[in-house]
Amino acid sequence: MKIKINWGTSIVIAFVLFISFIMYFVLKVQSDSKYDNELVVDEYYKHDVHFQDEMVRIQNAHDLKEKPVIIVGSNGVTVSFPAVFSPKDIKGTVALYRASNKKFDFQVPLAFTDLASLSIPKDKFVGGEWYINMEWKYNGKAYLTKQKIYIK
C-alpha cells in the first residue's frame, strides 16, 4: 500500500513543524533562567520622564575643562578628580550596573579624604561588561558621567 501526500498536505505539515520548532525555542527561553532578560534600570518609564534633566547633567560634565577620570586597573576601578576640585565639596555616588544580572549591581558613595580619588577593589566585580553612572554635585551644580568598562 502506497501513501500519497499531495502538495497541500505537505504545506500544512511544513507549517505545523515550523510552528512547533518556534514554540519549542520560545518556551525554552521563557523557562530557562540562563536567558533572563532584565532591564538595566528598574521602572524604566519613570526614569525616562527625567531624561532631559539627565541630558543637562551629562552636558555639564562634558563642558568641564578638566574632567574626572575612571581608570580600570589590575586592582580594580579608580575614580580620580582633577586637582581643581576641592575633595570635601564633591558629593555624589558611583553606581555600577551589570546588564546581564541585576544582583551584581552596587553603589559606592563619593567620599574623599585629602585626595580626590576613590578606589573600588576588583573583588567587588564579576568579570565582564559594566556600566558606570557617576552622579555628583560640585558647588551646587549637578553632573553625570557615564562610561562602559570591561573587567577581566
Contact between 149 and 70 under an 8 Å Cβ cutoff? The reply is: yes
- Length, in residues, of the chain: 152
What local confidence, expressed as pLDDT, does residue 52 receive? 83
Cell 586597573 -> residue: 73
d(Cα 72, Cα 70) in Å, to the nearest integer?
7
What local confidence, expressed as pLDDT, does residue 93 receive? 92
Q: What are the pLDDT tens digits along the chain (152 aa)?
A: 677 888 999 999 999 999 999 999 888 888 876 666 665 556 666 666 778 888 999 999 999 999 999 999 888 899 898 888 888 889 999 999 988 788 888 999 988 777 778 888 988 888 889 999 999 999 899 999 999 999 88
What local confidence, expressed as pLDDT, does residue 40 receive? 55
What local confidence, expressed as pLDDT, does residue 23 receive? 95
Contact between 145 and 61 under an 8 Å Cβ cutoff? The reply is: yes
Question: Where would I find the H helices in the chain?
Answer: 7-31, 44-49, 51-62
What local confidence, expressed as pLDDT, does residue 38 receive? 61
What local confidence, expressed as pLDDT, does residue 42 receive? 62
Identify the sign of the CA torsion 84, 86, 87, 89.
negative
What local confidence, expressed as pLDDT, does residue 142 receive? 94
Contact between 77 and 108 under an 8 Å Cβ cutoff? The reply is: no
What local confidence, expressed as pLDDT, does residue 133 receive? 93
**pTM: predicted TM-score of the whole model, two decimal places:** 0.67
Assigned fold of 44-151: Immunoglobulin-like (2.60.40)
Contact between 151 and 72 under an 8 Å Cβ cutoff? The reply is: yes
